[in-house]
Structure 1
Amino acid sequence: MPTEQELQISPIVQESLMHNSRILHNLQSLTASLFGVSAGILGLESYSGFLFYLVFSLLTAALFYAVRVAPTSLAAGKAPLDTSRYFKSPFEFWAGGLMNELAGFILTWTLFYGLVRA
């Protein structure tokens, strides 16, 4: 949690937090559908398809962190993996979209699995 002095020097702006969350949500929605297409084309079934989704969703969050959050955090002297300045909570960043985007993944997964196997 930032101290009072840190908040006075660089305040946390709610509009920026909402913008960051919206960008991350859009990325997670797009990639969940793309992962569903990939899992369907590969013919993954049952647990292997869900494991595919879990691994690649976390990989996407890590890549997003490496490209967008880490350079600015390290430049500001923050601890690694600290997302508190840019998102409401670390859970929202790392795992918030897993359950929210699962329906889109399953929809495209079953669609493309049916198209390829038909």
Structure 2
Amino acid sequence: MPSEKELQISPIVQESVMHNTKTLSNLQTLTASLFGVAAGILGLESYSGFLFYIIFSLLTAALFYTLRVAPTSLPAGKAPLDTSRYFRGPFEFWTGGLFNGLAGFILTWTLFYGLVRA
């Protein structure tokens, strides 16, 4: 939890945090559907399909972090993977998309698997 002095120096604006969260959620939902298309076309089944989804969802979060969060200057004393300044918390940033996009992934995965294998 940041101290009062840190919040005065670099305040956290809730509207910006909400905008960042919405942008990341939209990106993760879109990529989950694209990963479902890829998994269906590749003919992945069972655990290999879900492993494909988990790996590429975490890769998407890492790329988003690298391109959007990391280039900004980090305050002194902050860990390099700390996202609390831009998002509600690290758990939401790194794994929130896994649960939000799962339904879209399964839907497009089964659709394209059925289209390719039919």
Output aligned runs, 1:34-113, within 5 Å. 34-74=34-74, 76-77=75-76, 78-113=78-113
In 2, are the aligned partners of 1:73 and 1:80 still within 8 Å (CA)? no
Separation in structure 1 between the aligned mates of residue 2 and residue 65 of structure 2, nearest angstrom: 20
2:34 equivalent to 1:25: no
In 1, are the aligned partners of 2:41 and 2:116 still within 8 Å (CA)? yes
Q: Per-residue CA shift, 1:69-92, capped at 9, x if unaligned?
A: 011143x44320010000001000
Separation in structure 2 between the aligned mates of residue 73 and residue 51 of structure 1, nearest angstrom: 34
Separation in structure 2 between the aligned mates of residue 73 and residue 17 of structure 1, nearest angstrom: 17
What percent identity do the matched residue pairs reach? 83
In 2, are the aligned partners of 1:40 and 1:113 still within 8 Å (CA)? yes
**What secondary structure sits across from 1:79 in the alignment?**
coil
Letter of the structure 1 residue corresponding to residue 41 of structure 2: I
Separation in structure 1 between the aligned mates of residue 11 and residue 99 of structure 2, nearest angstrom: 31
In 2, are the aligned partners of 1:39 and 1:113 still within 8 Å (CA)? yes
In 2, are the aligned partners of 1:73 and 1:79 still within 8 Å (CA)? no
- After TM superposition, the score normalised by the length of structure 1 is 0.95
Displacement of 1:107 in angstroms is: 0.1
- After TM superposition, the score normalised by the length of structure 2 is 0.95
Displacement of 1:6 in angstroms is: 1.1
Provide the aligned C-alpha RMSD in A.
1.0
